[in-house]
């Protein structure tokens, strides 16, 4: 572990001229990530599923950072048609995309549910939705002089297992272990994206024990941990903000630096061993392409196809 020091949002540099997209930016970690990127000067796309809540969050951001530029765009990561429509709208504007923060997610849904595309909801939202979004926005990332993709994971990734023959948890569904699998998959995606698109910076972060809407289905053990060690969403956003704005290298992973990475200022941490399995990452990538129909380019010069 490498300690970064007492870093917070006040140390973010000038982001004027940069464009960022933050998924799930209407609440929690995503809200504070978007807010601080905007406060630092970036134009921020507030991308979220619920239009009413998204526009309410937008108004709050504008009140708290009146000099910043935010705009709302509807995006439902559990619906590939919505992902494609969002990407098409963004690409139509011709903007370069400097920072994509793959933040949105669902956690520990009590019973196995399917998205409209037929995917298990946690895997479909947390993994496949962001996989498709990143691929469809790749040409906009190419326009940036220093493009970066930040993919959110979780400390739960350490107990995750990738079963390539049961990615949809059809044989065995566990609310928490299926979530852990999706978060391990996010780390594998981050690493494989860096290998396949070496012209961008691909990093990951996790927020530790952060109070947010994700805990609505949390069990007793999680609630007890949160009551003693949990931090607010503004603090939980710091690893994401560090990953999105500071000098970092593809493959790096950031987490809170205190109490077993549950709270505190961000620090670099080593991903779980299973997240360093390049063969599994490649196989998961290929499966994600088949499931979503989004095919990333091979090599530095190709364009994405869908």
> HSE (CB half, 13 Å, CA atoms) of 226?
18
- Asked, for residue 303, whether it belongs to a domain, the answer is no
Q: Give the range of the structural domain holding residue 172, as residue numbers without chain letter.
A: 2-292
Assess whether pLDDT exceeds 50 at residue 1.
no
Q: Is residue 128 part of a domain?
A: yes
Distance of CA 171 to CAs 166, 167, 178, 184, 260, Å? 7, 10, 11, 19, 32
How far, CA to CA in Å, does 78 sit from each of 14, 86, 271?
Answer: 34, 13, 26
**Residue 264 falls within a domain, yes or no?**
yes
Residue 189 placed within a domain:
yes
CATH number at residue 244: 3.40.50.720
Residue 298, domain member (yes or no): no
Number of domains in the chain: 1
Residue 64: inside a domain: yes
- 253 a catalytic residue: no
Q: Which residues contact 25 (CB under 8 A, 6 or more apart)?
A: 31, 33, 34, 44, 46, 47, 48, 54, 57, 103
Task: Note whether residue 305 is domain-resident.
Answer: no
Q: Tens digits of per-residue pLDDT, 57-104? A: 999 999 999 999 999 999 999 999 999 999 999 999 999 999 999 999
Please tell me the pTM assigned to this model. Answer: 0.92
Would residue 146 count as lying in a domain? yes
Catalytic residue among 173, 179, 217, 253: 179
DSSP 305: B
**pLDDT recorded at residue 232:** 74
């Amino acid at each position: 572990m490498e300690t970064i020091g007492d870093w917070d949002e006040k140390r973010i540099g000038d982001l004027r001229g940069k464009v960022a997209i933050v998924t799930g930016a209407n609440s929690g970690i995503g809200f504070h990530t978007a807010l601080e990127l905007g406060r630092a000067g970036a134009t921020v796309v507030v991308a979220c599923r619920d239009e009413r809540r998204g526009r309410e969050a937008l108004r709050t951001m504008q009140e708290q950072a009146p000099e910043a530029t935010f705009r709302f765009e509807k995006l439902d990561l559990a619906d590939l048609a919505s992902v494609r429509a969002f990407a098409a709208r963004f690409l139509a504007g011709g903007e370069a995309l400097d920072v994509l923060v793959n933040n949105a997610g669902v956690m520990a849904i009590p019973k196995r549910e399917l998205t409209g595309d037929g995917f298990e909801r946690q895997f479909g939202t947390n993994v496949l939705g962001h996989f498709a979004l990143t691929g469809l926005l790749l040409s906009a990332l190419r326009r940036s002089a220093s493009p970066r993709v930040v993919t959110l994971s979780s400390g739960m990734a350490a107990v995750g297992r990738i079963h390539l023959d049961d990615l949809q948890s059809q044989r065995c569904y566990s609310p928490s272990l299926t979530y852990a699998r999706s978060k391990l998959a996010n780390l594998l995606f981050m690493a494989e994206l860096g290998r396949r698109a070496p012209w961008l910076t691909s990093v990951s972060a996790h927020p530790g024990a952060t109070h947010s809407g994700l805990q609505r289905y949390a069990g007793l053990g999680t609630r007890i941990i949160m009551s003693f060690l949990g931090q607010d969403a503004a603090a939980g956003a710091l690893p994401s903000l560090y990953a999105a704005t500071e000098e970092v290298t593809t493959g790096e992973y950031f987490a809170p630096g205190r109490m077993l990475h549950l709270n505190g200022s961000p620090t670099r941490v080593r991903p779980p061993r299973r997240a360093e399995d390049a063969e599994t990452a490649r196989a998961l990538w290929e499966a994600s392409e088949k499931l979503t129909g989004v095919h990333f380019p091979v090599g530095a010069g190709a364009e994405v196809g869908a």
